[in-house]
Structures are given as structure tokens and as C-alpha cells.
Amino acid sequence: MRILVTGGCGFVGSTICIGLKEKYRNFEIIAFDNLKRRGSELNIPRLREHEVSFIHGDVRIASDFDRIDDISVIIDASAEPSVLAGIEGSTDYLIDTNFSGTINCLNLARKWKAKFIFLSTSRVYSIPQLEHVRYVEDETRFRLLADQNCAGASDNGFTEDFPTGGYRSLYGTTKLASELAIEEYHHLFGLDTIINRCGVLTGPYQMGKVDQGVVVLWMARHFWPKQLKYIGFGGTGKQVRDILHIDDLVSLIDFQLSNFDLFNGQVFNIGGGLEVSISLRELTAMCEEVTGNKIEIIGQPENRVADIPIYIADTTKVFRCAKWQPKKGVMEVLKDVFIWLSNDETRLKELLS
């Protein structure tokens, strides 16, 4: 196989490139990236060490793909991935990368009859609907009730049937628009496609920042002690997300590559599910345990734009299709991040502290 991974120097892209290359030495893997994300450049030597080739290119520019030929798979992991992207200033970069960039990738897939795997997001779901799901407030977290009045919602989380109508952030909108285009290319041109709607992915090599990569941000602020804030929902830190270790995503993608027909033309919610879910407050306690440090955390009751109180992927569909289940729990994720920070402290401190 000859696989092109766009955003191949990013957190998700680089881990997929290296994970696949470690397992399949005979695969030819190309990481394509414009290095827009700060810290992505640190992955170039790692990719090189693993014999993954790197092409500096931009998905917004179709002709940047002219250097690429004869590929059998495209994994599209390039994006401006922040839910706050485009809110201040121009929306051009976000839309050009996350939507037009996907179209360029689809055209490249069409040209080479390559299979196409898209890293989408749970942010395609409607914010007004997510704000109105029924939950109770426990001591450390919000908890979904079994009795919901909306399609696709239960105490187990949200399925692929949860509404996408209504606003969903500019980021979520660019991803949903890409999903629609992918569906068209699948039906019109017979392209083999998989859409993975991921929730919070995390693990080593994620360059966590305030608006993206919350688990690494939380660990880093405990590791190099620095203040944090519980923003929104009363400022108590009870908002909940499920999280997925990046290695678990890589093992799913590996399975999808070798069993493409099981997934072809479909959309899947991907995440750790209820079992691997955590509130910010609980995350604080675990970061304290792993690092041995306690930091100041300020409550800021007002909600941030596009934020939601609770998201948990109901992964019944992908579990059924793939017989895949995440192997790593929250504590394992945090320990892996801790080891990564400890081993590369000097370089990472500048970026993450």
C-alpha cells in the first residue's frame, strides 16, 4: 500500500503514519503537511526515523498534490482543528483548509482511485440540541439521564442519529460540509470512503493548547505548575467528555484499512465511550495523582462560545462493525502523556507550559 496522510505532521496524522509503518514495513507512507500547527515540525525527525516520507504542501492548493502519484489510500487528517477557529478575524483559512482542502483531497483520491478515510468530529452535532439534553449534576460531573427527548441520545451518550441541524461552530460546519461532499463522491464516483467522527483524541505528541487538546493542556499545566480555569457551566469543572488514546484510534484505522468493505460509505462515532469519560474536575484529581503537583484552578462561570456541558460518543455502531474497543483508560492516557513530557521536557516546555 502507498498511503498519503494529509496533516501527517500533526498529532493524529503523525501517530497514524508511524503506527502503520511500524506494523507494515513494506507500506510506503507519505506525510503531507504545511506545518501550520506549532509543534508539528517536531514530528519531522520522528517521521524520518520511521522511514515515513515528508512532503511540505498545503491542501488548499490543488497543485501541491501534483508531486504525488499512484496512491492507494488517503487519510485526511489535515485541519484547523479548534472549535474557536474563525470566530475572531477571517474565516478564510478555516474554510479553505477544512472544506476546500477536503475537496482537493477527494479529487486526488478520485484521480488515483484511492480509498479515503476522513477524520471528522463530534462537533458536527447541533449545539442547541446538545445544550438541551437531560442530565443531572453529581458531585464531580454531569451525568446523562436515560430518558431523553431527542433522537440518538441516551445515558450511554450520542449515536450517529443525533441531530446535526442547528449551529455547531464554524469548525463543525466545515467538517459537516466535508462529510456531505464525501457522501457525494462516494455515490457519484464510487469512491470508497469512511467517515470517523471523533470526539476528544489525546495522547503523546499532542500540542495541547487552551482551545484544542484539553487533556494534554491539563497535564502540562500540572507538570509545569501554572494556573488553569474551569470555564463555563457554573465554573465547577463538571463538564464531561469521553476521551480516546491515539493508539486506540490507530488500531481502529489499521482494522478499517484491512476490512474496508465493512465500513465503506458509512459514518461512525469514535471515542472512548462512557467507560473512558471524565469531567474536568476528575481530570484535575488524576493529574494531581500522576504529577504529584497541585495547581490553582479558578472558576469562571460564564460559558465560552460553542462550548457544551457533556459529550460522550455512543460507539455501539463501530463496536459492532469492528469488534474494536479502546484498550486504554483515562489513567493510562495520562501516564503516557506524563512519560512523553518527562522524556522531552526541555523542548516541550517552551511549547506547552
- Compute the 3-state secondary structure of the chain and give helix, strand, coil in percent, each to the nearest 5: 45, 20, 35
Binding span for ligand NAD by CB under 6 A among 4-12, 142-150, 313-321, 331-339: 4-12
Q: Whose CA is closest to 68, among 126, 5, 134?
A: 5
Neighbour tally for 151: CB within 10 Å: 11
Among 3, 4, 10, 278, binds ligand NAD (CB under 6 A): 10
**Can residue 40 be called a binding residue for ligand NAD (CB under 6 A)?**
yes
344 residue type, one letter = D
Closest residue to ligand NAD in the complex (CB): 10
State how beta strands 2-6 and 73-76 pair. parallel
CB closer to ligand NAD out of 133 and 217? 217
CB closer to ligand NAD out of 54 and 324? 54
Among 79, 108, 109, 153, binds ligand NAD (CB under 6 A): 79
Residue 8, all three cell numbers: 501527517
**Can residue 46 be called a binding residue for ligand NAD (CB under 6 A)?**
no
Closest approach of ligand NAD to the CB of residue 77, in Å: 4
| 222/294 Cα distance (integer angstroms) | 7
**Can residue 200 be called a binding residue for ligand NAD (CB under 6 A)?**
yes
Closest approach of ligand NAD to the CB of residue 323, in Å: 23
**122 DSSP assignment:** G
| 177/163 Cα distance (integer angstroms) | 15
Q: Whose CA is closest to 261, among 115, 118, 148?
A: 115
Among 3, 13, 108, 338, binds ligand NAD (CB under 6 A): 13
**10 DSSP assignment:** S
Closest approach of ligand NAD to the CB of residue 118, in Å: 8
**Can residue 19 be called a binding residue for ligand NAD (CB under 6 A)?**
no
3-state secondary structure of 111: helix
Residue 88, all three cell numbers: 475572531
CB closer to ligand NAD out of 55 and 236? 55
Q: Tell me, residue by residue from 169 to 198, as one string, x for binding to ligand NAD by CB under 6 A and - for no binding.
A: -----------------------------x
**Can residue 116 be called a binding residue for ligand NAD (CB under 6 A)?**
no
Binding span for ligand NAD by CB under 6 A among 11-19, 126-134, 159-167, 256-264: 11-19
3-state secondary structure of 226: coil
CB closer to ligand NAD out of 162 and 225? 162
14 within 8 A of 8, measured Cβ to Cβ: yes
| 41/115 Cα distance (integer angstroms) | 27
| 236/14 Cα distance (integer angstroms) | 35
**Can residue 216 be called a binding residue for ligand NAD (CB under 6 A)?**
no
302 within 8 A of 181, measured Cβ to Cβ: no
**Can residue 119 be called a binding residue for ligand NAD (CB under 6 A)?**
yes
**Can residue 71 be called a binding residue for ligand NAD (CB under 6 A)?**
no
Catalog residues that contact ligand NAD under the rule CB under 6 A.
6-7, 9-13, 33-37, 40, 58-60, 77-81, 97, 101, 119, 121, 198, 200-201
